[in-house]
Amino acid sequence: MSVFLSSTANGQACGEMVNLGTLGGMNSSPYGVSADGRVVVGLTFNGFDQYRAFRWTPSDGMMDLGSLGGTYARAWGVSADGRTVVGESRDALWRVHAFRWINGVMQDLGAIDNGWSVGQCASADGEVVAVQGQVSSGWRAFRWTPAGGLQNLGTLGGDSYAVAISAGGGAIAGDSRLANGQWRAFRWSSDTGLVNLGTLGGLYSSANAISEDGLVVVGSSTNAAGETRAFRWTVAGGMQDLGTLGGVMASAWGVSEDGNVVVGDSTNEAGNARAFRWTLAGGMQSLGTLGGATSYAQAVSPDGNVVVGQARVPGGWVAFRWSLERGMQSLGRLGGEAASACAVSVDGRVVVGWSDFMPNDERAFWWRGTAADFNGDGFINGDDYDAFALAFESGLSSADINGDGFVNGDDYDMFAEAFEAGC
């Protein structure tokens, strides 16, 4: 396991970037992270060059989740507590079915008309899964529960795909094709069924994320001029154009738990893409760059205060973490020329993404902010020491600095060393 240490100098965040490795082959990609940041799931290759679903933790490293009987598996999502993983796998008959993995057991969620099915994402408790599945007439969005199995969510006239699910599993966002071939973002709930979210005056819209309560959906849509714009849709107010940073294009990729903070990218007057953070109170704000012309925001913490993504620098791309206290900081990369962050923990201290490692070998990474900034305010001072001491004496899981599942002297020593070093 290789580690990249970053510092506060030159706009770099203070923390460590951990290479999650592989299962014997080359390349690994992360697709989901638990709420506390201690479980990462995704796709990698084994020594036989087979696709395998993985689950990684700081204490146990990378685990092969197995398969439904075939040689292919991919993990797409994970529950908030990290115990439930969803994805897709081939069975012994070479069919690809959605799965739900819990405590070492991979469950086949089935399929319709002997078609392909994919477990796309799960509710916070892992009891509801948003599924994409083939039927005789094309693709459909489904909702799976232990009691009801696969429920077809319907269509707006053509194919439909599930993209995101609310924390409680009661609402699902996705895309569906109309009978005329145009695509529309949709929101499904048991109360309303499949609802067409419309457009901003153009011919296309697509959903990318949904708020925790399921009442806000964000994504992109064309306007009457054919320009792609970021949108925020609410049950109460419908679809809203979030504007741009001076250019003509914008897309929204993430939303806070309350739906009041949206992140994405927009072009500026010069035509360069910049990461943005939009708030209900302040509108769209550029998050800047790290010296290059371009940056892209990919995800946001539930409270809306930490944004992660990718930024151009001389010689390539780096993953970034932006916070209210520190602005945009580089997380670096494992090697090569490119890296990007794609997910962040609830407290904003753990970031997950991918990075070049060697030529033709891309790796999933896990970045953790310095243990010394225990309260996560971007500064290292006595407040952090007091907060850690209280958590340590109380045996709270937050004091498990090394992530081995125990709170003991090893954690105290690790915190003290980081605190004394100031990073």
pLDDT tens for residues 170-214?
999 999 999 999 999 999 999 999 999 999 999 999 999 999 999
CATH number of the domain enclosing 421? 1.10.1330.10
Weakest mean pLDDT among 161-165, 261-265, 368-372: 368-372
296 lies in the same domain as 398: no
Average model confidence (pLDDT) for the chain?
94
Q: What percent of the chain has pLDDT over 70?
A: 97
* Size of the chain in residues: 423
The pLDDT of residue 12 is above 80? no
209 lies in the same domain as 97: yes
Angstrom distance (rounded) from CA 193 to CA 195: 6
- Among residues 332, 349, 372, the one where a domain terminates is 372
- Among residues 332, 352, 372, the one where a domain terminates is 372
CATH number of the domain enclosing 46? 2.140.10.30
What is the rounded average pLDDT of the residues 12-33?
94
What is the rounded average pLDDT of the residues 277-296?
97
Q: How confident is the model at residue 4 (pLDDT cuts 50, 70, 90)?
A: very low
* Secondary structure (H, E, C), the chain: CCEEEECCHHHECCEEEEECCCEEEEEEEEEEECCCCCCEEEEEEECCCCEEEEEEECCCEEEECCCEEEEEEEEEEECCCCCEEEEEEEECCCCEEEEEEECCEEEECCCCCCCCEEEEEECCCCCCEEEEEEECCEEEEEEEECCCEEEECCCCEEEEEEEEECCCCCEEEEEEEECCCCEEEEEEECCCEEEECCCEEEEEEEEEEECCCCCEEEEEEEECCCCEEEEEEECCCEEEECCCEEEEEEEEEEECCCCCEEEEEEEECCCCEEEEEEECCCEEEECCCCCCCCEEEEEECCCCCEEEEEEEECCEEEEEEEECCCEEEEEECCCCCCEEEEEECCCCCEEEEEEEEECCEEEEEEEEECCCCCCCCCCCCHHHHHHHHHHHHHCCHHHCCCCCCCCCHHHHHHHHHHHHHCC
State the total domains in the chain. Answer: 2
User: Among residues 69, 155, 76, which one has the least CA distance to residue 118?
Assistant: 76
Weakest mean pLDDT among 7-21, 92-106, 262-276, 403-417: 7-21
275 lies in the same domain as 422: no
368 lies in the same domain as 380: no
158 lies in the same domain as 261: yes
69 lies in the same domain as 199: yes
| pLDDT given for residue 14 in this prediction | 85
What is the rounded average pLDDT of the residues 49-57?
97
| pLDDT given for residue 423 in this prediction | 74
Q: Residue type at 340? A: S
Count of other CB atoms within 10 angstroms of residue 315: 9
421 lies in the same domain as 364: no
13 lies in the same domain as 148: yes
Residues 241-246: contacts with CB under 8 Å, at least 24 apart = 241/200, 242/278, 242/283, 242/284, 243/283, 243/284, 244/268, 244/284, 245/274, 245/276, 245/284, 245/286
The pLDDT of residue 10 is above 80? no
206 lies in the same domain as 77: yes
User: Among residues 375, 307, 313, which one has the least CA distance to residue 341?
Assistant: 307
137 lies in the same domain as 78: yes
Q: How confident is the model at residue 114 (pLDDT cuts 50, 70, 90)?
A: confident
353 lies in the same domain as 409: no
Residues 325-384 pLDDT 10s = 889 999 999 999 999 999 999 999 999 999 999 988 999 999 998 888 888 776 788 999
Residues 125-159 pLDDT 10s = 999 999 999 999 899 999 999 999 999 999 999 99
Domain carrying residue 300: 3-372
Count of other CB atoms within 10 angstroms of residue 215: 17
Q: Measured on CA atoms in the order 374, 375, 379, 385, is the torsion positive or negative?
A: negative
395 lies in the same domain as 304: no
| pLDDT given for residue 140 in this prediction | 98
What is the rounded average pLDDT of the residues 395-417?
89
